[in-house]
Structure 1
């Protein structure tokens, strides 16, 4: 599917989609980005409520704040470009949340840290791929990577 006439607004400027760039891929990436942010905000709140260690609670606060800010940007970008804007995390993310919600104390802290390491490793791969794709969303993805990498390091430090 060609991206004829498709324009995305990125960081205040309009960028035309390169030839051959699939609008469906852009929509898929943005849907996953928004679902991921919704999930991370929820996980951050859960960590602040159920976390046993101060580090888990602080990481939860960082997740809630950083992904909350990113969520607003992602929703605005999707909305401006006529893309769907999900209102809740995907089923897999909800299942992980529900599993963690049933844990407490040290068991919660360990499972939460492991889930956040896996989640952020996957997110980083998706964002790196999008950043390198030369798509209209590449700048958006590139700007997000440092925060995701910081979160991965924080999650890994909780696992130790």
Structure 2
């Protein structure tokens, strides 16, 4: 009897601990979208490192790979702690963007990379993390969004300057 009671208590504690670490569907979606955004920036940055002929664009691309790899790791750490399964590859839109970037070269590549992976995606990421800070209910998800915001804002400012010089 005592053994059954201990087993039941252990099962309840384990279930409670597991439940306490999970997040609602909205916060799960935030984590998935943040993972997608970071994966897409890493992938696009890697393409730019191979294809761009501009030292400034390559420097920016390396910064994207470095910063978004760190950002993805931060998202993965929170997701793991909250029992959230993240996507393993960029979404269809970003795969299509990567395919398009791979067809370009020279100034046309730089312009498209800076406009799409740079300005457009960082504006979207800025809006996404700002919304996450307001709508997330889990304090760790909210803190993650706040942690990512300054880096995204810096990237947006940098890429807008680069893009205006490549017009």
Over aligned residues, Cα RMSD in angstroms?
A: 1.4
Matching residue of 1:153: 157
* Residue 137 of structure 2, aligned match among 135, 138, 152: 135
Question: Equivalents in 1 of 2:49, 2:158: separation in Å?
Answer: 15
**Counting helix residues as a fraction of each chain, which structure ranks higher?**
2
**Contact 2:133/2:146 (8 A) holds in 1:** yes
More strand per residue: 1 or 2? Answer: 1
Matched residue, 1:117: 119
Q: Shift of the alpha carbon at 1:7? A: 3.6
Determine the structure 2 residue equivalent to 1:87: 88
Q: Report the secondary structure of 1:87's partner residue.
A: coil
CA–CA separation in structure 1 for the residues paired with 2:88 and 2:31: 13
Following superposition, which runs of at least 4 residues in structure 1 exceed 6 angstroms of deviation?
A: none
Note the C-alpha offset of 1:133: 2.5
Q: Structure 2-normalised TM-score?
A: 0.81
TM-score (norm 1): 0.85
Q: Which residue of 2 aligns with 1:30?
A: 31
Unaligned runs of 5+ in 1: 9-16, 18-22
1:134 Cα offset (Å)? 5.2
Q: For this pair of structures, how many residues does the alignment match?
A: 143
Distance in structure 2 (CA, Å) of the matches to 1:128 and 1:6: 25
Between structure 1 and structure 2, the one with the greater Rg is 2
